[in-house]
Amino acid sequence: MFRDPNHIENLILQSSIIKTPSKTNCNGCNICKKECAFLERYGNPGEVAQLCKTDPDKWLSIAFECSLCGLCSAICPRDIDPTAMFLYYRQKVVENGRKDFSKYKMLLNYEKKGTSSKYTYYHLPENCSSVFFPGCSLPGTRPDTTLKTYEYLQKQDKSMGIVLDCCTKPSHDLGRKDYFEKIFSEIKSYLLKNEISTVIVACPNCYKIFNTYGKEFKLKTVYEIIAQNESPTTDLVSGKISIHDPCPTRFEKEIHDSVRFIANAQGLEVKDTAHQKSNTFCCGEGGAVGCLTPEYARTWTKKRTGENQGQLIASYCAGCVNLLSKRAKTFHILDLIFDPEKTMAGKAKVSKAPFTYLNRLGLKKKLKRLPAKIQQERIHDSISNKIKNQW
């Protein structure tokens, strides 16, 4: 049994879960329940919190069926953050050794490769204080676009570096708190040791992790930088699109505005949908729910593409684009920036596994040819998986 049922009963009342402390707890209005198949099945967050007191072994585990997308938090009239509660529940299940991760084997192997010496690479030029951290999916699906993005950033800052590594958000969201903290702290420590003060990301998941756990760095997205500077291309296109805002950046207004500015600057008309920006739907990938209850993941995907009314969808998360593309024509905003005509024609080059792994190795090989003061892979101990002193 879990050891602290009384704490679980009161969890949703804690200040860490509540964005406005003057508003105390879930009042059962069921606004969030109407939007979410998970809550529709199990009850509103207050009901789930109460059930966790009566049978924590059963009810804490249902948190793995929550997408952790944050929509419930965004629309709650009492400013409660149920997402934090469900993430905490996941962490408690893992902490008590009650989680079987066999259904997440493919995802966790993907993450493990992303932190291995084979796939990691720290490329830090002379006087480097800023790095581009593109994440895992973008270099795999779009290695040429990743390289072009880095070259663009270097035009703004000649000493800009690039880091190929995994922020381990999958482990974070699966409640593997100790593992996540170990790996991410190693990334932070190495960057700080080498006097890196600014991190520029392309992936919304990486943004969420650095924004939450990497407060030591100044954090920007490449979309904000492109919106504030000259566009990489002068080629214009035309058409109407809707924009899918990924869950991890649902509260980031500057990012939302920057992506829409870029689309407008390329000649496109952006049509609003009912669920966008802070109220965006999950694409279906959130919380690794598709590994456990794919029917919930499909519900989100169907809802998001259903609001699109047949228009092209643009997003700025490679994972979202991949999933939404199965039901609607979807492209990455960086595809539009660096190859607008092919993108609008649906011909932008996008790779799928297993070629994504080869692409990441190919990109690493190209980067190694470029001059840098520091060129370093992450070196693990084969027994403890701990980084050696050669870092």
In CATH, what number is assigned to the domain containing residue 15? 1.10.1060.10
The answer on 317 and 246 residing in a single domain is yes
**Which one, of 390, 305, 361, 391, lies nearest residue 136 by Cα?**
361
3-state secondary structure of 376: strand
**Which one, of 277, 333, 279, 274, lies nearest residue 305 by Cα?**
274
Summarize the confidence of residues 129-142 as an average pLDDT: 98
For the chain, percent of residues with pLDDT exceeding 90: 84
pLDDT of residue 58: 86
Task: Look at residue 132 and tell me whether its pLDDT is greater than 50.
Answer: yes
Specify whether the backbone of 310 is left (phi greater than 0), alpha (psi in -120 to 50) or beta: left
208 found inside a domain: yes
Q: Where are the alpha helices (DSSP H) in 234-388?
A: 253-265, 289-292, 294-306, 318-324, 333-338, 340-344, 355-368
pLDDT in tens, 277-293: 999 999 999 999 999 99
Banded pLDDT at 2 (limits 50, 70, 90): very low
Which of 22-36, 64-78, 188-202, 253-267 bottoms out in mean pLDDT, i.e. has the lowest?
22-36
Banded pLDDT at 310 (limits 50, 70, 90): confident
- Cis amide prior to 354 (ω within 30 degrees): yes
What is the pTM assigned to this prediction? 0.92
With contact defined as beta carbons under 8 Å apart, do 297 and 284 qualify? Answer: yes
Task: Look at residue 5 and tell me whether its pLDDT is greater than 60.
Answer: no
pLDDT of residue 66: 97
Mean pLDDT of the chain: 90
Which of 9-18, 200-209, 218-227, 259-268 bottoms out in mean pLDDT, i.e. has the lowest?
9-18
pLDDT in tens, 339-377: 999 999 999 999 999 999 999 999 999 999 999 999 999
Q: Which domain holds residue 209?
A: 107-226+361-376
The answer on 74 and 43 residing in a single domain is yes
353 found inside a domain: no
Banded pLDDT at 386 (limits 50, 70, 90): very low
The answer on 300 and 286 residing in a single domain is yes
The answer on 203 and 159 residing in a single domain is yes
With contact defined as beta carbons under 8 Å apart, do 82 and 345 qualify? Answer: no
The answer on 331 and 245 residing in a single domain is yes
With contact defined as beta carbons under 8 Å apart, do 196 and 131 qualify? Answer: yes
With contact defined as beta carbons under 8 Å apart, do 67 and 297 qualify? Answer: yes
Q: b/e per residue, 93-123, with b = 16+ CB within 10 A?
A: bbeeeebeeeebeebbebbbebbbeebbbbb
271 found inside a domain: yes
The answer on 295 and 192 residing in a single domain is no
**Which one, of 152, 162, 155, lies nearest residue 130 by Cα?**
162
pLDDT of residue 10: 52
100 found inside a domain: no
322 found inside a domain: yes
The answer on 52 and 25 residing in a single domain is yes
The answer on 212 and 129 residing in a single domain is yes
The answer on 64 and 20 residing in a single domain is yes
Q: Considering its fold, how many domains does the chain have in total?
A: 3
| Residue 317 buriedness (CB in 10 A; 0-12 / 13-18 / 19+) | buried
Give the residue from 66, 95, 124 where a domain finishes: 95
40 found inside a domain: yes
pLDDT of residue 387: 43
pLDDT of residue 7: 47
The answer on 333 and 237 residing in a single domain is yes
